[in-house]
Structures are given as C-alpha cells and as structure tokens.
Amino acid sequence: MGLVDFLHRPWARTLVGFLEAIHDAILIASAERRLVYANQAALDLLGYSLEELQAKVMLDWVAPPYREGLARAMWPGGPAQPGALELAFVRKDGSWRYARCSFLYPELEGQMYSAAIVQDITQPRQTRQSLTDADVPYVAPNAIEAERLASKRLEALYQADEKLYASLELDQVLQALADVCVDLLGADKSCILTWDETHQYLITRAQRGFTSQFVQLMNEYAGHGLIAHAARSGETVVVQDTHQDDAVARQITDPEGIRAFMHIPIRLEGQVFGVFSVNNLQPHTFGPEEQRAFTSLARRAALAIQNARLYAQAQGKAALEERQKLARNLHDSVSQTIYGIVLGVRSAKAQLAQHPEQVPATLDFVLKLAEAATAEMRALIFELRPDSLKHQGLVAALARQVAATRARHGLYIETSLDSEPPLSLEAKEALYRVAQEALHNVVQHAHAHKVYLRLQQQDGKVELEVRDDGVGFDPQREYPGHLGLVSMRERIERLGGRFYIASSPGAGTTLRAELNLPSG
C-alpha cells in the first residue's frame, strides 16, 4: 500500500490532522516495509521530502549500527508488544540525528502497520556528553515552557477546525484561515493569495490586519518576489528579519511595519492553489515547532478549501441542471401550446368565411390553450425568480405548481393546503422543490389517474404529502441515473427533517416530508 492509498482511507483525514499537530516525528510503515506516512516533524528531522523518503528503503536513512535493531522493532515477524529504543538517523546532508523511538502496531481495516513515534534527543545528548567531559553536573533543559506552547498550539489547531469548516463558501473559508492565524496562533497580520485564471498573478482573496493600500500594492506586485516564488516552487519561504534580507520587497512590507514573515503554499490535489502568509511586526525566529503549527493549519485549511470548491461545483451543476430542465419545459409545453394557439387562430380565421358556426368551438379550444400556457408560464417564471417564494409564500407556490401540472398534463390533482407555515425561506424552498420533483415523477413514471397533495401543520411540525394511484415501484431498488429521490431526501434531512417513501408495484406511491416548526 502506498501513500495515496493510505491517505484515502475513511479515517485518514482525522488521523492525519491529529498527527500533523504533534511535535514529535511520526513514521508509519506497512507490513511490506514501505513508508505510508510521515508527518512534517519527521520530514524536518530527516531533511528529506516525502517523495524522497518513499523512493528509498526505510533502513537507508538509519545509521548502519542501528539498522538491525530498527528492523526487529518495526517488523518483528510475529506478535509484538509496544516498545522503545534509541537510534540514529542519517539526514540528507549526511549528519546524524539521535532519537528515542517508541513503537506501536495498529491494525487498521484488517491490515497491520508499524508506527514509530520519534523524539529528537540530539541536543540533550550532545549537551550531556559535553558536560560529562567537563566533569560538570548535568542539568536537564527546562521543557515545561516548550510543552506549554506545544499544547497551546495543539488546542488552537483543534479550534481552527471548527472555524474552517463552519462554511462551505470559499471566500469565508479563506477569511477564517486569516482570522485563525491572528486570533489563535498569535500572528500580527495574515493574508491569503490565490492564482488568477491565467495562473500568472496572485490575487489577495482574504486578509486580516492589512490596509487597503497594501492589498492594492500586493495585487500589482504578486506575480513577482518571494511570495510568487513560494507559489511557483511549492516551497515555504521564511524571513526572520525583513531589514536583513535583500530579497524582500520592502516597498511592500515597510509601509505595513512587517519585520518577519512566512509564506506557506496551500496545495490542492498536488498543485499550489495559493499562498498563506503569516506576518509579524517585530523580527521573529520561526522555530521548527511554530513552522509545523502554521504548516499544519495550512493543510487543514486545504481540506476545507477543497470542500468549498466541491460545493461550488455542485451548486453550479445544480444550477445548470435547473436551467436545462427549464429549457426542456419551455420546449415541451409552452412552445407547443403556443403553436397550438397559432393553429387554432388560423383555423378560426378559415372557418369564419366558410363555416362560421364552427368558430365558437374553435375559439373555446384556443382559450383553453391560452389558459394552460399562462399557468405554465407562471410556474416557470417562479422557477426563474425564487424570491417569489419569499414574497408570496409556500402555499401560493404549491398552488401555482399544481395549476401548471393540471394544465400541462390534464392530471387530476386534489389539494389540501393549510395556512402559510412559519418556516425559513430555505425550508420553504426545500418543501417546494420536493413537491415539484414529486409531481414531475408522477407525470413521468407513475401513469396515475389521481394525485393528492397535502400541506399540514400539526404537533410542532410541517408535513408535505404527495400520494398517487399509479403503478408504484420498489423503493429498495437502486435506479441508476435517477437522482430525484436522493435529492429530495438530502434536501429535507440537511434541514434536520424526515423523509419517507411508501410504494410497491401496482399499489401507488406515497411520499412524505416533515420539517420541525421553529420553537416559540
């Protein structure tokens, strides 16, 4: 199993989000001795990219004296208990890093993995050795403050998830990222820039703490400099003091008082979507722990951004489907009805000269067609202008839809509509769309003679029911390509409601949707 397979497991998102926030290095290997995951702390420890680590055999980046011990610990060849050992890793630059490794052997979806939790002990080891050589008593460094900061960052990242996933609108997700950076992780300013359509320039999509002049300057400059380098290379850019780095565009940073920054690429599906910029007003050393915290935040944000993009695509697809459906309705009903009116008028004109006694009957036929076209157009106009639901209400909208269906298809529909329910506009639209889709299904599939539509308020809820005497169907079966029932259920359950279907071949169909009324 490779990295991609591992990360696409259902539990991977939650697991990876947790592991990225841990300041110790984490390595996970499959039973086939292949690396399937390494967190950012592990990449920093070893000095390799994830792709470089996966291209090598795991034991290659372990110092030779320790390879046999690691092999026994990671792949014991039989039942294994958690344990620990000390070893040395060989970094990409050839230097050694000493570490204390604890081993676990989780079983996930029936597959065994070996997980190593790695704590870097190089500095304490070297300090201890130098103090021993000088015959000076060793005093362990105080790690309390470091642990406190690590705990604070971990808590901030948990809170960040709630803010990042609070919306499915892309701009709101990006703004939440900038707000989290400042409010929870202590940066002075933050901004997020994304590629324009040409993929040549970066555009400021969200910011916190910057002036409007900065945003304008950055948008003019953002195809160049360090921030563009971060976007094009996919590498994080860190500047500890803007006054000491000649690559910094100080005409941008000085007016805002920025003295240190970090530009972190945001990756989506292997491509750089944009850059997350963390800014401080004083020279600042971004240590490994702090860099990992901000990088972890960028990765969490990437998941939220991807969700927002998928939602936008789904909304666009839904809008396109609605327009196509409207076009079909115009073609299938209104245009044909108008054509019938034209033919009727021509017939009446011809009859007027030769058979005037037939004209009244022909005009009655034309009048009925005109009434049907009017009802149909009212229903279609309502679909084009959903704000009509807000101003005229759900009951009027349902009555209008029923009238259009009667006129269009000659279907007998009996209605029972209570007074206007005190629901939100979103809830009213959901019930209206369910009724619309249900009537469409009756016309297309049920071959019914009679339909009954009811809207009733009782026991603290609003209930919509559409019942027909048609051919029925088996609701337990899947019907590929027919997503109407799924869409109706999702609309109602997304609002905390309940959706029911009762049907069987030859026994008609009853569809019921329930939404709770607001309390008080």
Residue range 443-470: mean pLDDT, rounded = 91
Task: Flag whether pLDDT at 517 surpasses 50.
Answer: yes
Six-digit token string for 481? 């390509």
CA atoms within a 13 Å half-sphere pointing along the CA-CB vector of 472: 13
Q: In what order do the strands lie in the sheet with 450-458?
A: 412-417, 450-458, 461-468, 509-516, 498-503
Task: Report the chain's mean pLDDT, rounded to a whole number.
Answer: 78
CA dist., res. 324 & res. 328, Å (int): 6
Q: What is the DSSP letter of 105?
A: -
Q: pTM of the full predicted structure?
A: 0.41
Confidence of residue 332 (pLDDT cuts 50, 70, 90): low
Using 50, 70 and 90 to split pLDDT, how confident is the model at 437? Answer: confident
* Mean pLDDT of the 62-69 span: 81
First CA to last CA across the chain, in angstroms?
Answer: 55
pLDDT on residue 40: 86
pLDDT tens digits, 241-297 = 999 998 898 888 888 899 999 999 998 878 889 999 999 999 988 888 788 888 888
**410: which DSSP letter?**
-
131-174 pLDDT tens trace: 444 444 444 444 445 555 555 556 666 666 667 777 777 888 88
The residue-averaged pLDDT of 89-99 equals: 85
Identify the pLDDT of residue 290. 82
Residue 4 has pLDDT above 60, yes or no: no
Check whether 219 has a pLDDT greater than 50: yes
Q: Where are the beta strands (DSSP E) in 80-154?
A: 83-90, 96-104, 107-108, 111-120
Cα gap 337→371, rounded to integer Å: 10
Write out pLDDT tens, residues 27-58. 888 877 778 888 888 888 888 888 888 887 77
